[in-house]
Chain A
Amino acid sequence: MAEHSEPPESFLTVAEVAEILKLNQQTVRNWIDQGSLPALRIGRRVRIKRSDFERILAESYSGGTTPVGSRGGHSAEGFWGGEPVGLAEPSGAASEVLEPGEAELLEDLQLEKLEHDHLADGSERP
């Protein structure tokens, strides 16, 4: 009988996931603590299965967060027709436009930056 062999699972560190997503490491740790991102704890070390990470990434992507920069659905008809229109964008970043719902994303990014700036320890736990 032929032996069925699968490629060995590879793992990512918190720092690698954070780097891939351009997020703060603490955010990734929060996801792990909340159970949003499955992780393997080996002593004090934390590793994330690449397959878990890629699956969650794919699910989040198909979840439909409108990419920053898309211009669809922003119209005068919408403004007078009962759709939230006219969300703020940072001055000096005129090329980066925001759709309804994307303001939340901007807030997340801003909070992310604050987290990043205030974290004393940004390195992987030993």
Chain B
Amino acid sequence: MSFADDLDRQRAHVMRLVRQASSGWAEAMRAHKLAPPDAGFATRLRALSDAAATEQVAWEHAHAAGLLWRPVPGAEHAEPPYELRPGTGRRGPPELWARFDAAVASLNLAITGSDAAAVADAFGEMSEATVALADAVAREDEAARHAADTRSRGAA
């Protein structure tokens, strides 16, 4: 098999990776878009982080295979789903949300271009920012549950 054939096969494989990653990201977005604020927030954030990490790996492969991100025009000021936007009562430490907002801005900037490596990096930062938030929100949930248990035991 020639080098060109290997390259074609590699690209076809990467296209599958990218498609799967894109579907996972879309699913994570839909979960945030449709969800009411509830205890599942941390789970959704973790799913978003996983999806972003999958996107990062897929686009690193895409970059290595010489593929480009298809630019999304006008994405510079695009907003994530409502429950992830500033000013909507987001639970979690403000400094981690500031990091998340910066990651959104970086990702928006990256997707306006075609550099797959830049897109991969931006997804990577999104993944790290979001998993930190997921951990923090999960800890808040756990603390709230513990406090509620203590109150109910005290009342009994």
Contacts and interface: CB of A to CB of B under 8 A. Distances in A.
B116 interface: yes
Interface majority SS on B: helix, strand, loop or mixed?
Answer: helix
B68 A111 contact: no
B44 interface: no
B75 A76 contact: yes
Contacts of A106: 15
Nearest to B31: A82
Interface residues of B, number: 38
Interface string A85-126: 111111110100110100110110011011001100000000
Interface residues of A, number: 33
B79 A94 contact: no
Interface string A66-86: 000000001111111111111
A85 B114 CA distance: 13
Contact of B15 (A75, A79, A92, A107): A107
Contacts, number: 103
Interface of A: 74-92, 94, 97-98, 100, 103-104, 106-107, 110-111, 113-114, 117-118
A112 B68 CA distance: 22
Interface of B: 2, 5, 8-9, 11-12, 14-16, 18-19, 22-23, 25-27, 29-30, 33, 62, 66-70, 72-75, 78-81, 108, 111, 114, 116, 119
A84 B67 contact: no
14 contacts: A74-B70, A76-B74, A78-B72, A79-B72, A79-B111, A80-B81, A81-B81, A82-B26, A85-B22, A88-B15, A89-B70, A104-B19, A107-B15, A113-B8
